[in-house]
Amino acid sequence: MIVVPVKEGENIERALKKFKRKFERTGIVKELRRRQQYDKPSVRNRFKRERAIYVQQLKDLED
């Protein structure tokens, strides 16, 4: 459960912004979106491989 302590006289907009930030960091929305669709293991592996190639290319450009 996410708890956002609100100080006396603190703006409710600021408290809401803190809550949204904490909620985003938990990764709940990402997990729900990921679970909406089943991906075959071969598709997941292909995606991981493509991502690794992309990251490696970025690192090579930095050097």
- pLDDT given for residue 62 in this prediction: 85
**pTM confidence score:** 0.52
- pLDDT given for residue 32 in this prediction: 93
Average of per-residue pLDDT values in the chain: 92
> Which sequence spans correspond to the domains of the chain?
12-62
Low-confidence ranges of the chain (pLDDT < 50): none
* CA atoms of 33 and 16, how far apart (whole Å): 23
